[in-house]
Amino acid sequence: MSSSRTLSDHDDSSFFDYLLHRRPDLVPGNRDWNGTANPLWDPNRPHQIPQPPHGTTVLALKYREGVVIAGDRRATEGFQIAGRQMEKVFKIDGYSAMAIAGTAGPAIEMVKLFQTELEHYEKLEGVQLSYEGKANKLGQMIKANLPMVFHGLIVIPIYVGYDHRRRDGRIFKYDITGGRYEESEYHAIGSGGKDARSTMREHYRKNLSEDETLKLALLSLYNAAEEDVGTGGPDLIRGIYPTAKVVNATGITDVEDQRVAMLYAELVAERKQEG
């Protein structure tokens, strides 16, 4: 076929499949390591090459009108802090957001690919994918990353969104094989995920208001930061706070830093009072 025709020799609404077909070198998890082991993951010399940065704790909670999704800002390289301002919560499209834990590089690449995938589908088909459809597609992309997992480059997301058909917020968690599981109340992943889940288990109730949910999210991250070295707490000196987004029927809104700072000030004051 002539080169002019290769433009249209692909007939599929998935950008991921198009990339696999046209530029396999750009597909995350599909890199050619030339058959040698990943130099970043050589058990014989674990300290010679630094590990890539890791994102740590992210979480999501359902509330009366939708979902709150939040994450701390710390990135670690082994026992070193690699970044204090990393953004781990991403808007994917008008009604869904994703938070990532694991190796930062491939995770951010996956976010970008997933954003493009959904927009691509919407433009080609003229309609958005259903929320289930989006969640399944993400599962397939994580599955495609499986070869990277054996090199130690793990990416695990939480995917939340507003499902217009069910008129409800939804939370999906994933495992490394692309397995997709729905959570009906809350979930947290990453190095401090277990600690964050403990806090949420204690305080979570159904039909919380947006403010209460946001406060619980921030409290959970605060507690996780106390127990886990990988999780960053609120940095009052530099003014760096966890980031959060709210997803509901009207779309996605970023929670402003000021509001987070105020909620943390309240929280710290309460702690001091309790002694």
Q: Which is nearer to another protein, 113 or 216 (CB)?
A: 113
Pick out residues in 10-29 that bind another protein (CB under 8 A).
10-11, 15, 18-19, 22-23, 26
| Interface with another protein (CB under 8 A), residue from 123, 164, 166, 205 | 123
Q: How many residues sit in the footprint of another protein (CB under 8 A)? A: 20
Residue 56 known to be catalytic: yes
Residue 1 binding another protein, by CB under 8 A? no
Contact residues for 35 (Cβ-Cβ < 8 A; gap 6+): none
* Residue 272 to residue 204: CA distance in whole angstroms: 23
Query: Which positions from 25 to 64 touch another protein by CB under 8 A, shown as an x/- string?
Result: -x--------------------------------------
Helix (H) or strand (E) holding 64: none
Kindly state the DSSP code that residue 19 receives in the 8-state scheme: H
Catalytic residue among 56, 57, 76, 243: 56
Within a 10 A sphere around the Cβ of 220, how many other Cβ atoms?
29
124, 176, 261, 267: which one binds another protein (CB under 8 A): 124
Distances (CA, A) of 7 to 1, 24, 114, 121, 186: 10, 16, 22, 17, 44
With a CB cutoff of 8 Å and minimum separation 6, the contacts of 174 are 138, 139, 142, 156, 157, 158, 159, 180, 181
- Smallest gap from Cβ 260 to another protein, in A, equals 22
Stretch that binds another protein, among 66-74, 113-121, 136-144, 252-260 (CB under 8 A): 113-121
**Residues engaged in binding another protein (CB under 8 A):** 2, 4, 7-8, 10-11, 15, 18-19, 22-23, 26, 112-113, 116, 119-120, 123-124, 126
Residues marked as catalytic: 56
